[in-house]
Structure 1
Amino acid sequence: MDNCIFCKIINKEIPAKIEYEDDEILGFYDISPQAPVHLVFIPKKHIESIATATEEDFQIIGRLLFQIANTAKKLGLDQSGYRIVNNMGKDGGQTVFHLHFHLLGKRSLLWPPG
C-alpha cells in the first residue's frame, strides 16, 4: 500500500526502532508512547483491520499474539502485567489502517481505557 505508514516502515522507507522482526512480523517502539514500554506489532502483509482479515490471515494473527507474549516476557513485563490493544475502525480509535497491536507496560493501566 503506497500511503500506508506501516508498509513504509516494513520497507525501511521510514526508520523505526525495531525490537522484533521475522519474515512475517515486525515489532517496533511507538513514536508517541502511552506507557514506559509501548511497542507496535504488525504483520508484514497489509491487512487493513481485524474486521477485514480472512480466515487464512488468522494464522499470522495468532503468531503476532504469540510473539507479543514472548516479547513481553523478554522485556520483563510478565512480572507486573501488560496490555495488548487492537483498535478497529474510526470509532474504535484506529488511525493507521494496517492491522496492528499495541503492547503497553511498565505502568498501571486504568479501565475503562477512555
Structure 2
Amino acid sequence: FLPLIKERVKLAESIFATDNNDNKQKSEATWFHQMAEAADLPFDDDMLEIAPSKDKGKVNNQRMELHHLLLEPLRPIGSKRKFYRLHEDMNSNKISHDGEYSSRDATADLMQKSKKHSLKRFRKR
C-alpha cells in the first residue's frame, strides 16, 4: 500500500521540480529583459545561460504515467470495496434517525453472543 503512494509522490515531486526550475529560468529571463528595456540597453538572449528544455518530453511522459496511476484506486491488500449498509437498518426501524437503536434488548444480545452464560448473575439475590 505504501510503495504505491511513494511511487505517486516521487513522480509528482519530479514533475514539480522540473516545472519549478523551468518557471524560475523563464522568470529570470523576463526580469532581465524588462530591466534592460527600462535602462534602454540592448539585450541579447545569449547573455542568459538558459539551458534548452530537454526534459519537456520526459515531464509529459511522467505526467501521463502519474495520470494513469491516479486513476487506479489505492486500497490495502485484502480490503474489500463493500460497506456496511447502515441505511438498511434505518429503513427497517432498527435504528432511529438520531443513530440510536430504537428497540434493543440487552439480554437478547447477551444470549446471542454466548449461550453458555446463564442469566443468574443478573438476577437480584
Q: Which of 1 and 2 has greater Rg?
A: 2
TM-score scaled by length of structure 2: 0.24
Higher relative contact order (CA 8 A, sep 6+): 1
Higher strand share: 1
